[in-house]
Structures are given as structure tokens and as C-alpha cells.
Structure 1
């Protein structure tokens, strides 16, 4: 009746074709971090696949959302639930967090920040008994980017529920995890063919990052960090202000790509100026030399 111990597995490497051609927009989207609580993650070996990749990709999505001012919403089940409040979840999964209240916290690596919203989670869908739809409507947003666990349960049901509410759902294939490769793949197929769109972390970074898709100078050091992390395909949280970006693998071709993008906005920059000081802190001082913005 309880959640089973989940063996290590590989996230599917091929993804289903989408029936729709939706494209995520920074002005329309909300990022949902679904049920990433210690209780649910403890059914995995956290050092084995797919957990490290899951957490790294979710971290990249959160960092991107923060830099672009995309709202970030978390769901988290409450440990204080009586039998009536749990309803049929009690029959299907037992007492859950009620029996292990020490597991209620969002995993530390993905902990919400002050500007984020944490919603109480009562049923599979994040919309049930919550203010998620109301929040989205009030903010003029009609797209939901879904990451977290478990793909074939709450993540898939939330995507289906979003479809019923005329909200475009995007399930991030390599930023969700499940009980097995087979159930993970099943969830992706269902969403892609019946109620939403399946995408990847890398694809979202490419679509949403203004520096990669538009000629746009980052508006903050966090946005600069997210842009560089996207180019390097590493979690933005791992990049530190004084790290040598060349040591992370940022080559001259990528630097030239960024340089040309920024030059097209009218910024007067040289390759040598960037290459001589290849750190986030130095580049941000060049892009925005006003100390008040540091």
C-alpha cells in the first residue's frame, strides 16, 4: 500500500512527438516544482540515477525562472492530515507523510526562496483544493512548466488537469522522475499525445533565455549566470561569481556568440576584454558598471 522502494533507472533517452506545437513563453509561464519533498525523494537512492540529474535540471529551471521573473510555485504535502482529509489517498498509499512528518521539507538543494510560492498539496493534481489556477489567472499566465516527482502520478495528473482548464502544460522529460523507465516513458507519451507538450531542460533554456534567442543584454548577474550555465549545460547554482569560466569549458566560439549578441544591442565590447577576465563578476561589471546594481 505504501510507495515502493524505487530502484535506480535511466531517464528515457528518446521522447515522444508532441501533437501540439506550443512554445513556452517567459511572459505566460509558471514553473511548478512538484512534490520535491524529502519524504518522496527518500524512496530513491539519492546518489544513483535518476536523482542527481533530476535535481540538477530542476535547479537550472529554478535559476532560469528567477532570472526571467517567471513565477516559481512548489507543491508540498502536509504531515498534519486526518483520515478524512487524506480521503482515498489513505486507501491507495496509506498514511504517507502523516507517519513520517520529518520528511516534509523541500529538498535543501531546491529550497524555495522568499519570492516563491508553496502550495499545500491534497490530491494528485496541483490544482485540486489549491489557489494555483486563481494565481495564474490573476497574473495573466496560461502556461505551466512541470518538473518534479512522480511523473506518472501527480505530474501527469496536473498536466491533464491544466488541459481541462485551458492552461498549456509542458512536462520537462529530464526534470521529472518516476518509479521506473517504463512508467516514466508512459507519462511522457500520455502528456505528449493527450494533454500537453513534452520538452527538455536544454530546450527550455534555449527557448526562454533572452540572450540565446534575442539580442538582449542580461538585466542582472543572476540572468547572466543562467545564460552562461545554459551554454555550458551545467546547473546555474554551481557557477560562482569568481570562477574562471574557461575552466568550466566556455570556449572562444561561445564567447564570440555572446559578444555578437550583445554588440547588436549597441554595446561596445571587444573579445579580448571578455577573454582577459572570464568570470561572472568581471563580465557583470563590464555589462553594468554601475556599482549600485552589483
Structure 2
């Protein structure tokens, strides 16, 4: 099912990347290293392409800050870090897409904070792609059910490579060559 605009081609001028709660407090999850590394590739590619990054941190006093593997550039260099206690990033103080109407979302946990963020974005008419290889949950079943729910709600499921190459739009450019090094 589609919300009418979720399958539209994403371009870097209209897109933001939201990295939800990839924090050190979730390091015990079996898939944490894989998710953090993939989120890091998304952040690196987004930075190359000039796509703004919003990283959220759920209760950082208890769950600590964004994992270093994510490789967040300094805040202000196209990066905003939003601390939150609500599950949906959209409902957190300081969350602002700055006029972007297409959002790539990845992070932890697929069935809670990622899901509620995506559903709120869809409700606001934002086109959403969920980067599946950069999204995880503590339990595999929760991840799968969360992703199925988001697919049915109208989000498009994608991967790091597909998302970054879609934002590149063409081969042969300096940005493409830089992104190619990130995804190889």
C-alpha cells in the first residue's frame, strides 16, 4: 500500500537522513555492529551528497550517546543531534526537517522508535524510505514485524547502497565516485 507519494524518486535537494537512536546503550544487541556500520555508511554518503542528517538520542543519560561507528560529523556541519524521551523523533523538541519532504530513516528499534517516527512522518505527508540494512531491533522477529508494518503503512523499504545511489542520480560525477568508495 502506498500513501500516494512514497515511491517518488528521492533527490538530495529534498531529502534528509534521520538516524534514530544508534546509541552505545544498545551495543549488546546481536546486530548492533552491523546496524551501526550501515548507519555510518548512510551518514558518510549523506554528508558527501550534502543531505542534512538528524540523529536522535533516546534518553542519553541512560542509553549513552550515538555510537562512534556512526561517524557523525560535528553538529552544525549539516548535522543536528536531538535528545528525546518520546519514541517518535518527530515529536521531540528540536526535530526539524527544514522544509525537506523526503526522508531516509534508519536506526534502532525497528518496531518502536523507528516505527513511530516513520508513521508520524507518513501522517504528515512526508515520503519515507526505511534503510533496512541500517535498521535493527533487539529481537529478529520484532525487526521483521516492524519493517512489515512500515511497508504496509506506505514507507518504501530500501538498502544503504540503493538509497545512496538513488541520491547520486548518475555515475561519473565526483560525488558518485566518493559514494562508490563508501558502499564498496
- Note the C-alpha offset of 1:111: 4.1
Tell me what 1:106 maps to.
66
84, 89, 102: which one aligns with 1:126: 89
CA distance in 1, matches of 2:93, 2:154: 20
Is 1:148 equivalent to 2:107 in the alignment?
yes
3-state SS of 1:32 partner: strand
Larger Rg: 1
Is 1:205 equivalent to 2:168 in the alignment?
no
TM-score by length of 1: 0.56
Deviations 1:66-109 (A, max 9, x none): 001100111013456xxxxxxxxxxxxxxxx2xxxxx4221112
Corresponding pairs, count: 178
From the superposition, tell whether residues 55 and 129 of structure 1 become closer, same or farther in structure 2 (CA, over 3 Å).
closer
- Note the C-alpha offset of 1:183: 1.3
More strand by share: 2
Runs of 4 or more above 4 Å deviation? none
Larger RCO: 1 or 2 (CA < 8 Å, sep 6+): 2
Asked if the contact 1:125–1:158 (Cα under 8 Å) also holds between the matched residues in 2, the reply is yes
TM-score by length of 2: 0.86
CA distance in 2, matches of 1:200, 1:31: 13
Asked if the contact 1:152–1:178 (Cα under 8 Å) also holds between the matched residues in 2, the reply is yes
More helix by share: 1
Asked if the contact 2:132–2:159 (Cα under 8 Å) also holds between the matched residues in 1, the reply is yes
Tell me what 1:171 maps to.
130
